[in-house]
Amino acid sequence: MTPIRVEEAGVEPVSVAEMRGYLRLSSDETAEDALIARLIPAARAAVEATARRLLRPARFRVVLAAWPRLGLMPLPLSPLVAVLRAGLVDGRGTLTEIEPGPVRVGPDPWEAPCLLFGPDLPPLGTASALVEVSAGCGGEGPPVPEPLVQALRLTIADWFENRGDAGGDGAPRPLPPEAAGLAAACRRMRL
């Protein structure tokens, strides 16, 4: 089971205007705004991968062939904010909504994001279960931790200043050491 990102929501943790100030660009230097706007989501994705945290709210869909046997399903979505809907999908793709009450977010959505399933769920039979959740900082979720915002700023600044300096091997540019350290300090651990 892999959560599928259905929709991005909210805004990026840093704006182009904020990054222009951080990069010390004068107000008449707007030629680089498009580049900064492209660097923001790329750097966010890199910091998210390192920290194993979502820095922007999004909606995800999970499809299950069976209800979890122990009533618990860990998800790689930190922070996990809410269950938006749950339902059964038959062989023709028709969705029958069920009350999301028996499906809820676990007690620690930041360090141990998981879904809890109550015993009163309808049997699946030949149907699949569909659960949609919201996850990520900002919006309805918690604010982005300041160390991760700073890691994002440092990454954007490094990529902005060193564009074209990477080897031509096509590999993604790593986080600068300072940003990697900040992201690692906030990293969600896996057992």
* Contact between residue 17 and residue 151 where contact means Cβ atoms under 8 Å apart: no
| pTM: predicted TM-score of the whole model, two decimal places | 0.86
- Tell me: the pLDDT tens digits for 42-93? 999 999 999 999 999 999 999 999 999 899 999 999 999 999 999 999 888 8
Confidence of residue 172 (pLDDT cuts 50, 70, 90): low
CA dihedral for 150, 48, 14, 153, sign (positive or negative) = positive
What is the tens place of the pLDDT at every residue in 120-158? Answer: 888 888 889 999 999 999 888 999 999 999 999 999 999
Amino acid at residue number 167: G
Task: Give the relative orientation of helices 33-51 and 177-185 as an angle to the nearest 10 degrees.
Answer: 50
* Residue 189 pLDDT class (50, 70, 90 cuts): confident
pLDDT over threshold 80, residue 38: yes
**Among residues of the chain, what percentage have pLDDT more than 70?**
94
Strands 95-98 and 4-8: unpaired
